Chain A
Amino acid sequence: MIDMTAFRDEVGDVGSVCVRGGGTRWTVGGPVGDSVGDLADGPSDVRSVSAPTGIESIQPAEMTVVVGAGTTVADLASALAEHGQEVALDGPVNATVGGSLMVGRNSLRRGRLGEVADVLLQADCVGADGQAFTAGGPTVKNVTGFDLCRLLVGSLGTLALVGRVILRTRPVPEAGTWMSGEVATGPVVDAVYRPATVLWDGLRTTVRIEGDGADVAHEKRILEGLGLTETAEPVLPAEWDRWSGTLPVGGVRAVGAGVVHRPDPVGPPEVAAGVRALGDRMRDSFDPSRRLNPGRDPQRMTA
């Protein structure tokens, strides 16, 4: 069993605390205030804490896993793979489960793998008042009470700190392949059923198809007929932006995902005043003294 008590005691109820994981949160939005690097390294007035690590149980028949938020996404992925399962988390090389959830970026394969927002079933948390609480529930279907889990995903750790989580997993598809060609996206999207990914760089469409081996082989032949050829998984620019209807120079659009990968950093997101006010009330409600992960603000950073 993953012990939440030590984590709760470490967080305590006073003083600013910053979760030290794989640094995923620090890939968001660029510097804020004096220096992101200073905060990431743990300045003297911000205590660094670490979420519990380890995998408590993997249950393919439930399509769930119970895991410490400090566990790396890579470790979780290899443990799940042994059971033929995978989870829709994404992040840099050292990303932890908690960091990946708190940033909330979707995997490139989200068309099949699903979205991070749908992954978090239950979160054992420590609130700003130092109290442990549980959000959500352990089952794959649950509408009991308010949806704290979705609120937590993408919150950059500013509402509560997650320690132990129950995640929804999915069976690994039998087959999958990347195909690419100088073709418009429309005919490609029309030719395949529920592609995992469709990318457009202004010249080429790159698509990922997944599923039963015979079905993938069949769709591959159809795509070859359209002029696409098999390719390696594309390496995309790291910076993410929201799709605004125009492809920036050097950018790659994830079609239907609302995401643009681009080489140059982007400015803060546009959040309507009324929505921002509601978001600020939310943060005030959970962490009035702003002691959790200071310097991070999902309303003023692009994730």
Chain B
Amino acid sequence: MILGRVGQTGWVIRSKSRSLLGRLSVLRAGSIADPLERDLVGVLGAGRVEAGAGAQSLYSHDGSVTRGGRAGIICFPETTAEVAACVSTAVRHGRPFVPRGAGTGLSGGAVPCDEPVMVVTTRMDTIHEVDVDRRLAWVGPGVVNLDLSRHLEGTGLHFAPDPSSQQACTIGGNVANNSGGPHCLLYGVTTAHVLAVEVVLPDGEVVVLGAEEGRAAGYDLRGAFVGGEGTLGIATKICVRLTEDPPEVATLLLDFDLVAGAADTVSAVIAAGIVPAALEIMDQRVVEAVEPFVHAGYPLDAAAVLIVELDGLPAGVAEAIARIETIGTAHGARTVRVAADEDERARIWKGRKSAFGAIAVIKPDYYLNDTVIPRTRLAEVLARVYEVIEERDLIVMNVFHAGDGNLHPLIVFDAREPGVMERVLDAGEEIVRISVEAGGVLSGEHGIGLEKKRFMSMQFSPADLEAQDRLRRAFDVEGLANPAKVLPTGASCGHVTSLGRAPDGTWV
């Protein structure tokens, strides 16, 4: 069943106005001094090319704390051909380009270095096709993550990756960052849900990587592209896998006197052969900040709460609830609450998903980390994280994807306090070091971008990094696609500072 090509009428209207704009812009382009801007206006029309100081400032940062980059000319293409033309134009002028979606990234992947051409894909927000029978959809990169699942309501299908920014982040950005979310424990991160992707390569050529069904012939270039953080090209159309809605969903809330009890419950559940859809921990500081807003009934005196979501067929879910009650109790759970209805379920999740909006009541600034450790070492690594914070006289809040071992220590502080930035930075680096030494990795879902590339050598040898650079060079021979990101080698981004104030409305 084809549900329809949403926005097709709008596209026709826009294309008419584009041709008029195009004629006007050719007239205007002649008066533009900068040859690159003149050519880009020739491609898109003056109305979709911005070069003013205000726009450049707006597009100089993303959801991360990295600051100081400066955008060059900002382009708003609406079609694959226009993206290809923007890229080709930038390359012809020897200028780098940076793809950008909603700008919710948390590692600085969309922060511009050296005044690149910014290729903003938010106007490519058409859901081109939904094929319910084959459980796939073709979408534009500018489609907002949650908008796709809302569009699918009533079909019995949804798009599984659910980053906490899902009401704002775009699917193009999800592809670039290989985004995660709470339910990726069972369903996998974005790459497991991208069947094929139409890409404008850094030389301007358009290719389709992957296949609608099964593995494409040849190398898995789709797999190589996803998570490329905009350094391998620009996704212009994405074929996503749609996941069947589970017939039964149960959400449990367990609370503990010790954080270690919650952590040990997580690995015991997995060791028992149960793979829940989600396993999320929030520590006491988070619960204290969130409960007054959401009234989810989180116990304020608990050291940690554990949210467990189980889905599937009814008997399996019921069996898993019983086993998790036993496992949790054996590890010190004081109560095990099973959400009685959809309303209670929604409130438990609202607390988790809005956790980062509530922290402003504690301190005005925060620095968020994202590392992964083996889940069996959660308790000991969390204990070390609290020590690191205490030693530096800071405050940390922990709310994270425990089932994956994906830590999100959030250091809250007031940047006006003298010397605090140095302590925050030092603590962040130490947490990364502890995670890697525990057998973990630098990032579970936020990516490397600018923020973490200086840490890459903690996890990788020069030969490891060279192998990654071989992959990058095959896609981007000239090195003009989002340069200075991910790998610590190559171009630098000298003007960018590594820490600033996180913008309002940042999610994790």
Which residues of A are at the interface with B, using a C-beta cutoff of 8 A?
59-63, 84, 104, 106, 115, 117-118, 125, 127, 131-135, 137-148, 150-151, 153-155, 159-160, 170-172, 186, 193-194, 211-215, 218-219, 242-243, 254, 256-259, 269-272, 274-276, 278-279, 281-286, 298-299, 302-303
Q: Which of B73-81, B283-291, B454-462 contacts A (4 or more CB under 8 A)?
A: B454-462
A residues less than 8 Å from B244 (CB atoms) = 193-194
When chains A and B are docked, how far (Å) is the Cα of A142 from the Cα of B312? 26
Could you tell me the distance in whole angstroms from the C-beta of A188 to the nearest C-beta in chain B?
13
Residue pairs across A and B with Cβ atoms less than 8 A apart, 6 shown, are A106-B215, A133-B461, A144-B448, A258-B212, A278-B207, A282-B474
A269 near B214 (CB under 8 angstroms)?
Answer: no
B470 near A141 (CB under 8 angstroms)?
Answer: no
Which residues of B are at the interface with A, using a C-beta cutoff of 8 A?
133-135, 177-178, 180, 184, 188-189, 191-192, 201, 205-209, 211-221, 223-224, 226-228, 232, 244, 246-247, 267-268, 270-271, 273-275, 312-316, 319, 372-376, 401, 404-406, 439-448, 452, 456, 459-461, 463-468, 470-475, 477, 486-487
A145 near B460 (CB under 8 angstroms)?
Answer: yes
Q: A146-B232, A258-B212 are in contact. List 8 more A-B contacts (CB 8 A).
A: A59-B376, A118-B188, A147-B226, A186-B133, A193-B313, A211-B316, A258-B214, A271-B218
Nearest A residue (CB) for B233: A278
When chains A and B are docked, how far (Å) is the Cα of A131 from the Cα of B467? 10
B217 near A299 (CB under 8 angstroms)?
Answer: yes
Could you tell me the distance in whole angstroms from the C-beta of B197 to the nearest C-beta in chain A?
12
When chains A and B are docked, how far (Å) is the Cα of A62 from the Cα of B271? 7
B315 near A60 (CB under 8 angstroms)?
Answer: no
B443 near A144 (CB under 8 angstroms)?
Answer: yes
Given A151-B471, A256-B213, A257-B214, CB of A212 within 8 Å of CB of B180: no
A residues less than 8 Å from B477 (CB atoms) = 281
Out of B215, B221, B441, name the residue touching A117 (CB < 8 Å): B215
When chains A and B are docked, how far (Å) is the Cα of A61 from the Cα of B246? 25
A258 near B213 (CB under 8 angstroms)?
Answer: yes
Given A145-B460, A193-B244, CB of A275 within 8 Å of CB of B218: yes
Nearest B residue (CB) for A127: B467
When chains A and B are docked, how far (Å) is the Cα of A133 from the Cα of B375? 25
A residues less than 8 Å from B447 (CB atoms) = 143
When chains A and B are docked, how far (Å) is the Cα of A123 from the Cα of B101? 32
A145 near B448 (CB under 8 angstroms)?
Answer: yes
Given A61-B271, A131-B463, A285-B470, CB of A146 within 8 Å of CB of B227: yes
When chains A and B are docked, how far (Å) is the Cα of A281 from the Cα of B472? 11
B191 near A84 (CB under 8 angstroms)?
Answer: no
A residues less than 8 Å from B406 (CB atoms) = 141
Nearest B residue (CB) for A143: B178
When chains A and B are docked, how far (Å) is the Cα of A145 from the Cα of B444? 11
B487 near A145 (CB under 8 angstroms)?
Answer: yes
A144 near B220 (CB under 8 angstroms)?
Answer: no
A residues less than 8 Å from B208 (CB atoms) = 272, 275
B residues less than 8 Å from A138 (CB atoms) = 374, 439-441
Nearest A residue (CB) for B184: A141
CB contacts between A and B, total, < 8 Å = 244
B247 near A141 (CB under 8 angstroms)?
Answer: no
When chains A and B are docked, how far (Å) is the Cα of A285 from the Cα of B133? 40
Given A137-B441, A151-B223, A215-B313, CB of A171 within 8 Å of CB of B275: yes
B472 near A150 (CB under 8 angstroms)?
Answer: no
A residues less than 8 Å from B441 (CB atoms) = 137-139, 142, 144
Given A60-B270, A214-B315, CB of A147 within 8 Å of CB of B460: no
When chains A and B are docked, how far (Å) is the Cα of A143 from the Cα of B105? 13
Given A141-B404, A145-B460, A151-B224, CB of A285 within 8 Å of CB of B471: yes
Out of A63, A118, A278, name the residue touching B221 (CB < 8 Å): A278
When chains A and B are docked, how far (Å) is the Cα of A146 from the Cα of B461? 14
B residues less than 8 Å from A219 (CB atoms) = 313
A residues less than 8 Å from B475 (CB atoms) = 278, 281
A residues less than 8 Å from B228 (CB atoms) = 146
Out of A143, A212, A274, A302, name the residue touching B227 (CB < 8 Å): A143
A residues less than 8 Å from B223 (CB atoms) = 117, 147, 150-151, 153
When chains A and B are docked, how far (Å) is the Cα of A147 from the Cα of B229? 11
Could you tell me the distance in whole angstroms from the C-beta of A164 to the nearest C-beta in chain B?
14
Out of B201, B217, B474, name the residue touching A302 (CB < 8 Å): B217
Could you tell me the distance in whole angstroms from the C-beta of B173 to the nearest C-beta in chain A?
13
Out of A60, A211, A274, name the residue touching B273 (CB < 8 Å): A60
Q: Among the interface residues B180, B218, B223, B246, which one has the most CB atoms of the partner chain A within 10 A?
A: B218
A residues less than 8 Å from B218 (CB atoms) = 269, 271, 275-276, 279, 298-299
Nearest A residue (CB) for B373: A139
When chains A and B are docked, how far (Å) is the Cα of A142 from the Cα of B405? 10
- The 3 A-B pairs with the shortest beta carbon distances in the complex, nearest first, are A258-B214, A150-B223, A269-B217
Given A134-B461, A193-B244, CB of A61 within 8 Å of CB of B375: yes
A residues less than 8 Å from B440 (CB atoms) = 137-139
B373 near A193 (CB under 8 angstroms)?
Answer: no
When chains A and B are docked, how far (Å) is the Cα of A137 from the Cα of B438? 12
A residues less than 8 Å from B211 (CB atoms) = 242, 258
A171 near B375 (CB under 8 angstroms)?
Answer: no
When chains A and B are docked, how far (Å) is the Cα of A63 from the Cα of B404? 10
Given A151-B223, A272-B207, CB of A133 within 8 Å of CB of B319: no
Nearest A residue (CB) for B134: A256
B residues less than 8 Å from A282 (CB atoms) = 219, 221, 224, 471, 474
B214 near A135 (CB under 8 angstroms)?
Answer: no
A residues less than 8 Å from B460 (CB atoms) = 134, 145
Could you tell me the distance in whole angstroms from the C-beta of B271 to the nearest C-beta in chain A?
4
B residues less than 8 Å from A137 (CB atoms) = 372, 440-441, 459
A104 near B215 (CB under 8 angstroms)?
Answer: yes
A residues less than 8 Å from B205 (CB atoms) = 274
A residues less than 8 Å from B270 (CB atoms) = 60-63
A142 near B220 (CB under 8 angstroms)?
Answer: no
